[in-house]
Amino acid sequence: MILLLAVGLWAWRFLAGTELSESDLRRTAGVRAEVVASRATPRGVEVTCRVSNPTGRGAAQVVLRVALVDTNGQMLAANPLAGVADLAAGQSREARFLVPLSQPLATVRPDVAVSLVRWRD
């Protein structure tokens, strides 16, 4: 009886571990993002980014934070939910994102960072 209970407890813990937790989603190691270009538009700044996945694992969704920072490094505006879907292992893709900015400033520079990766099973 005790052996059966121990096996059941082990199986429950093993199966519960297959679900992705928030910390699993934050494991972004290997996925990279870089700014390729930017241009001012009437609604803000359009930032073109290259997202690369050199890992051996496919990403179902990569969430990026695309921001505009001033010369002091202060964030002026951001698009915190920019995303790229279905990024296969070893693949790179360019994508454009709009960062709303009410007044175009000459001293802003675009910045991008990987916030979250939802890995494929």
Report pLDDT for 24: 60
Predicted confidence band at 102 (pLDDT cuts at 50, 70, 90)? Answer: confident
What mean pLDDT is predicted for residues 42-59? Answer: 94
Q: Which of 10-24, 63-77, 90-104 is predicted with the least confidence, judged by mean pLDDT?
A: 10-24
Between 21 and 72, residue with greater pLDDT: 72
Q: CA–CA separation, 68 vs 77, rounded Å?
A: 5
Could you give the domains of the chain?
A: 22-119 (2.60.40.3230)
Considering the entire predicted model, what is its pTM? Answer: 0.75
Percent of the chain predicted with pLDDT > 70: 78
State both tokens at 55.
Answer: 């890992």
Q: CB pairs under 8 A, 24+ apart, for 24-28?
A: 24/119, 25/116, 25/117, 25/118, 26/116, 27/117, 27/119, 28/114, 28/115, 28/116, 28/117
Write out the H or E segment, with its range, that includes residue 82: strand 75-87
Q: With 70 as the cut, is the pLDDT of residue 20 above it?
A: no
Predicted confidence band at 28 (pLDDT cuts at 50, 70, 90)? Answer: confident
